[in-house]
Structure 1
Amino acid sequence: MTWTILAASMLELLEAAVGTLRMTALAFLLAALLGLALAILRLAGGLAGRLAFLYIEIARGMPALTLLFLIYFGLAPLGIVLHAFPAAVVALGLNGAAYLAEVYRAGIQAVDPGQREAAQMLGLRRGQVMREITLPQALPIVLPPMGNYLVALLKDTSIASLISAPELMLRSRDLAGTYYLPMEYYLLAGAMYLVMAWPMMHGVRRLERHFARGRLQGGKT
């Protein structure tokens, strides 16, 4: 009987899993783009750099759940009402941007500054140096930690169930309450998260091995 109920619910859970993957992808895109902008601003210094640093420190010190509640519930009295799904994407993206900004900054600073100076001496503008010299070399450094962040983000989407955003954990909770099978549905949800996360984790490990091998070969030449 239990297996029949679980099998009948699989289509609903798979649809919810697709929602989880959509939320993860959109939040990651927002975090990656905003994080890069924050890293560049922080490295540029001045007022913009100080503001970027302040944002990064505040966002990193604030739980993602707090930010989610602030966006979903706190903005409503100001007349800004977001539905649950976009509110979750924005909250997770803003929270993740602070972490990725530090990843980008570390990758950019790891590039030999002499190359930037040589490019500027050849007449390249600062933006060109960043786009054509620095970022391509920083990319191998930042990709593995970005992959690790993506895996963590996939699991963090579960907090969106607290504002009834359509994703896997919310649907699992609803079905568990309907059929009084909490252990079964939560175990099934955990297995589905693992199935979704495993290719990402495998990809991260392959990236780490690939770039570690490249650095080793580069050190021998």
Structure 2
Amino acid sequence: MGYGELWEATHVEFLAAAWATLQLAFGALVIGLIVGLLVALARLSRSRPVRRVALTYIELFRGTPALVQLFIVYFSLTEIGVQFSSFQAAMIGLGLNAAAYLAEIYRAGLEAVPKGQVEAAKAIGMPHLKVLRWVVLPQAIRIVLAPIGNVAISLLKDTSVASLIAAPDLMLRAQDLSSVYFMPLEIYILVGGIYFALCYPLSLGVRLLERRTRH
């Protein structure tokens, strides 16, 4: 059986798995974006304990493997009565992991906004939250868009580890099909091609954003 025949026999399963992988990556990215912003704001807080908690979160999630974090969410939390499906656990675990990296991206973007603008906004009586919403965030978002895109690409590829907790993604489907067709080399090459097809448009988008933000 060649690649064409293999694809003809398995494309429905692969496309369904690719869609599940995209959903997993998107859900994890949303979690990462929200949690990452909260952690970044905590890192910039005037309260030292709050800053320390945020820094501890970042160091813990950046300093331990994503797979260990998935195992903790999926297996260990059941001991205290918190149970998720494999798909939910993968989304939460990957999202919390991404949040640690996104928090530092957000922080860099927020700190890149000229302090003079913030001080001028406060001088005319704008409350802190309004300064953040109307002055700081619009400028910071422009700065962080391209780095966020890079995190999204990495996150999409990192979904492959979700198969180790039986989350229904491309890699799990590849493992199942390998045991059916006994063609692991061909199947994993096809999976690599699918991941590339999913990631390449994102890479092009990130490059475009990087070029635009330079001007």
Please indicate the TM-score interval, normalised by the length of the shorter structure. Answer: over 0.9
- Measured in 2, the distance between the counterparts of 1:71 and 1:207 equals 34
Structure 2 residue 86 is the aligned partner of structure 1 residue 84:
yes
**2:56 match:** 54
- In structure 2, the partner of 1:28 is 29
CA separation in 2, counterparts of 1:8 and 1:37? Answer: 46
Q: What residue in structure 2 maps to residue 219 of structure 1? A: none
Q: When the two structures are superposed, what TM-score results if normalisation uses the length of structure 2?
A: 0.97
Match for 2:38: what amino acid? A
Q: Post-superposition, which runs of at least 4 consecutive aligned residues in structure 1 deviate over 4 A?
A: none
Q: SS of 1:172's equivalent?
A: helix
Residue type at the aligned position of 1:92: L
Which residue in the other structure is 2:144 paired with?
A: 142
Q: Aligned-residue CA RMSD in angstroms?
A: 0.9
The equivalences for 1:92-171 within 5 A come to 92-171=94-173
For residues 86 and 136 of structure 2, what CA distance do their matches in structure 1 show?
38
User: What's the CA shift for 1:147?
Assistant: 0.3
2-structure distance, mates of 1:148, 1:169: 21
Distance 1:5 1:51 in 2: 51
Shift of 1:49: 1.9
What's the CA shift for 1:57? 1.1
Q: How does 1:31-46 map to 2 (within 5 A)?
A: 31-46=32-47
The amino acid of 1:178's aligned partner reads: V
Structure 1, unmatched stretches of 5+, are 215-221
- CA shift, 1:4, in A, is 2.3
Q: Distance in 2 between matches of 1:74 and 1:136?
A: 40
Range with bigger deviation, 168-177 or 14-23:
168-177
String of CA shifts for 1:135-173, please: whole Å, max 9, x gaps: 111112101110000000000000000011011111011
Q: TM-score, normalised by structure 1?
A: 0.94
Give, in angstroms, the shift of residue 45 of structure 1: 3.0
Superposition deviation, residue 53 in structure 1: 1.3
CA–CA separation in structure 2 for the residues paired with 1:77 and 1:7: 44
Query: Which amino acid letter does the alignment assign opposite residue 43 of structure 1?
Result: L
Aligned to 2:17: 16
Where 1:82 maps in the other structure, the secondary structure is coil
Aligned counterparts of 2:112 and 2:124: Cα–Cα separation in 1: 22
Superposition deviation, residue 5 in structure 1 = 3.5
- Where in structure 2 are there 5+ consecutive unaligned residues? none
- For 1:178 and 1:163, locate their aligned partners in 2 and report how far apart those are by CA, in whole Å: 20
